[in-house]
Structure 1
Amino acid sequence: MATETTRPDAPATGVLDRFFGITRHGSTRSREVRAGVTTFLTMSYIVFVNPQILSEAIDVPNSFVQLLTVTCLAAMIGTLLMGLVARYPFAQAPGMGLNAFFTYTVVLGMGVPWQTALGAVFISGVLFVVLTVVGARTAIVRAIPLNLKLAITAGIGMFLAFLGLSNAGLVVLDEATLVTMGDLTAPSAWVALFGLVLSAVLMTLRVRGAILWGILAASALAIVTRADVYAGGAEGTMQAFPGFTDGLVAMPVWPGGLFGQLDIAGALGLGVLSVIFTFFFVDFFDSTGTLTGLAHRTGYLDERGDMPRVRRTYSMDGLATSVGAVLGTSTTTTYVESASGIGEGGRTGLTATVTGVLFGLAMFLWPLASAVPGAATAPALILVGAMMMTGVKDIDWDDMSEALPAFLTVVAMPLTFSIANGVSLGIIGYCLVKALSGRGREVHPVLYVVGALLLARYVFLGA
């Protein structure tokens, strides 16, 4: 199904155009580069957040600096695989949530050595690739009905918006009401609101690079006004931009204490099998849901909800996980923040290639990335979330057997803060409602198997 911007018969101009199909997909080189920069800026927080989380579980000399290098390497390799091999504008990096599970549940909670936990991550990535090669993963994705796929896209939009509102301090925790409105006079809130309004106005005026300009303008405002929106203050508080105290260039430290330290044999022990399954389960449905939503947003899904080169794409996703484990980080996965670059018009692998190169440069120029606070990238997440909601209009809301599973998928993602939970509840609900209402034949047999496994996972393994 060609999108309104696709030009399948357009002649290619140049090597890059022929390789990535830039003109054919209705894009331009400058737009792809701009989209890649936007994706990197939106994801740049992971360069610092991932080392902060994993360093609590991994005890090696200069752990933070080594983990920062590993994070950049894993993101660079995973994103380049997606851009150069799969040729999609999707970026990969060590996943949030999975790094917390690795640190606080597996290593600190269960007492599993971090080397063994890395082995479990590696095995889960191998399982990804094997299931993709034999066609099982593609069969599962094809078994998911179109209404659920549309709901997945919208749910990811809700998830992105909630994440952006939280990063901006516009939505905060409340003991009485669970969440509530944040302090609009707080620095993070007004910096984010400035970026949000500016980006929305520029998008309304159809200014190219609106989201990127909004990020840069909000970052500049935070620096000039000395707003306390940067991490690193005393006792975990926020601080004003500290400046480039070590210059703009900082040499990375080779992760000798992490590279190749994974313990695969230990991970295959009976007591760690549940850990492998959990890593695999969460990443499988998280990345599958993310890839499906992003593919729909870029217009790559056909009438059946399939996307081209699906096996290659899923294989690169699994391979990135295993490579990241060898380097010394938790599960590498496709990022929903890729939608920010897609929102800038990125449609080909050149977008991801640019993002991957920037992650490589971040190992040397990471002080520059530190100038972009979370409050400045929050508007991008909110705006892209709004754009990803358009598919809900095509969901069959008059048929409750379709509407309820779709609704559960959309609301569960932000409310449980998990794309995987949203996909899982949608599939389970779809199978149950169809079967119990006498319309069980409308469900693909593969989806019944998946639904049963998901239900068993919640019953026997908990969250």
Structure 2
Amino acid sequence: MTSSSPQGAPPSGLDRFFGLTTSGSTVPRELRAGLTTFLTMSYILFVNPQVLSAAIPVPGAFAQLLTTTAIAAAFGSLVMGLIAKYPYAQAPGMGLNAFFAFTVVLGMKVPWQTALGAVFISGVLFVLLSLLGARQAIVQAIPRGLKFAITAGIGTFLAFLGLKSAGIVVTNPATFVGLGSLTAPGAWLALLGLVVTAGLMVRRVTGAILWGILLTSAAAIVLRLPVFAGGAEGALQAFPGFQGSLLGIFGAPVWPVDLVGQLDIGGALGLGLLNVVFTFFFVDFFDATGTLTGLSQKAGFLDEHGNMPRARRLFAMDGLAAMFGAFMGTSTTTAYVESASGIGEGGRTGLTAVTVGVLFLFAMLLWPLAAAIPAAATAPALILVGALMMEGIKQIDWDDLTESLPAFLTIIMMPLTFSIANGVSLGVISYCLIKLIGGRGREVSPLLYGLGLLLLARYLWLQH
């Protein structure tokens, strides 16, 4: 591998801080990886405000929530890169925002300020458990086969997200899911991008995933394909162009004056809301833990015992991001599975995450430019990275049913339930039960048994 410094020259301060040479990476590679990750997750700038504005009735909710989303994502990614020094980006989590808006606020009639307080408390619990070593102890207790299954499951989940955003997989009232119209502009554009990007990867073109995103976006703009959000009544439209001065790519951010510091921690501590706090805590705990474990497996950070370096800092930064996001006025901020696209581009240090964080800060001013990247252009990246993450399944002992069935459930339940946390949970529960009933209970860590019981109790009594 080449280093970021000229041959024979001492490493730069940037190299020493992030360990670029030690990781076999370079500054251009890390910057490219960060840009790729940002492009694959920049949709959250628009989707998160759409989801949360339904439950947070403040003036100009969408504009304020867009700024809050960008700041929360920037903070989470920057602390992950600068303190934990991992290439993982963070932002308000999909699924968690829907639970916040539709289940807690609109369904349970909990004030949105109180719901933010519950998110903040769950973040405090994340940090405490991380600093005490509980989260890394749980990761170490998860058997090797399940860790590979978590990585593969995240791959299937990523691919499902990509296929869904491209309109290739759609809802079907009779069969739940079905094949979308392959002649629809978004579907065939995504398939074209998939083939082109795969071809570039086969040819070992540097930055193949990023080039694939940019080329596919350019094709959508030049061909005037209706694949961009913003049409009437939510319909897709052709790229409307950049309006206004300076090419229209600059837009003044709206400071979230009605959101910052509005969380109600006291109300969230009420006895009746402990269930909500626990659910926020549970879902993000296992979603983030599964995501971070799977990404670390893919990036080669886990040692032969399944341990990851700087684990306490890594997990603590996840909790700190959730706390900060709640203070800013958004639902749980967490590690993003789309970070796998940057890892696929060679990102191996915190400089990748720092790049993402800086781009989210710029996005507050350049957010019209982000609208030039349609979902159909990032879908191929998600599908390809998902395919690459399936590599580890060959390490699973498929001849041993006590290993293979829990691994299979872990993999298949992530896309089918649209939740990484559910896949990890059902894998752990089934692993414990099958080993115990099969007379091989001693092969399971006592900590894993305790975890399995907690997960089972959660599904029996606290499932919404």
TM-score, normalised to structure 2's length?
0.97
Residue correspondence of structure 1 range 48-447 to structure 2 within 5 A: 48-246=46-244, 247-447=248-448
In the TM superposition, structure 1's runs of 4+ consecutive aligned residues that sit over 3 Å from their partners are 4-7
The 8 Å contact of residues 12 and 24 in structure 1, kept in 2 or not, is answered as no
Q: Which amino acid aligns with 1:188?
A: G
Q: Which amino acid aligns with 2:95?
A: G
The 8 Å contact of residues 2 and 26 in structure 2, kept in 1 or not, is answered as no
- Looking at structure 2, the residues matched to 83 and 335 of structure 1 have their Cα atoms a distance apart, in angstroms, of 13
The 8 Å contact of residues 154 and 294 in structure 2, kept in 1 or not, is answered as yes
Deviation at 1:176, TM superposition (A): 2.1
Deviation at 1:59, TM superposition (A): 1.1
Deviation at 1:12, TM superposition (A): 6.0
The 8 Å contact of residues 82 and 91 in structure 1, kept in 2 or not, is answered as yes
**What is the SS of the residue equivalent to 2:254?**
coil
The 8 Å contact of residues 217 and 377 in structure 2, kept in 1 or not, is answered as yes
1:42 corresponds to: 40
Deviation at 1:6, TM superposition (A): 11
* Alignment gaps of 5+ in structure 2: none
Deviation at 1:372, TM superposition (A): 0.3
Q: Which amino acid aligns with 2:452?
A: G
Q: Residues 139-197 of structure 1, C-alpha deviation per residue, up to 9 Å, x if partnerless?
A: 11111001000000000000000110011111111122222211011010111111111
Distance 1:72 1:427, change over 3 A: same
**What is the SS of the residue equivalent to 1:17?**
helix
- Looking at structure 1, the residues matched to 117 and 422 of structure 2 have their Cα atoms a distance apart, in angstroms, of 24
Q: Residues 382-413 of structure 1, C-alpha deviation per residue, up to 9 Å, x if partnerless?
A: 00000000000000111110111000000000
Alignment RMSD: 1.4
- Looking at structure 2, the residues matched to 330 and 462 of structure 1 have their Cα atoms a distance apart, in angstroms, of 19
Deviation at 1:62, TM superposition (A): 1.1
**What is the SS of the residue equivalent to 1:254?**
coil
The 8 Å contact of residues 159 and 385 in structure 1, kept in 2 or not, is answered as yes
1:28 corresponds to: 26
The 8 Å contact of residues 3 and 26 in structure 2, kept in 1 or not, is answered as no
The 8 Å contact of residues 2 and 21 in structure 2, kept in 1 or not, is answered as no
The 8 Å contact of residues 42 and 380 in structure 1, kept in 2 or not, is answered as yes
- Looking at structure 2, the residues matched to 242 and 112 of structure 1 have their Cα atoms a distance apart, in angstroms, of 39
- Looking at structure 2, the residues matched to 5 and 200 of structure 1 have their Cα atoms a distance apart, in angstroms, of 25
- Looking at structure 2, the residues matched to 270 and 194 of structure 1 have their Cα atoms a distance apart, in angstroms, of 53
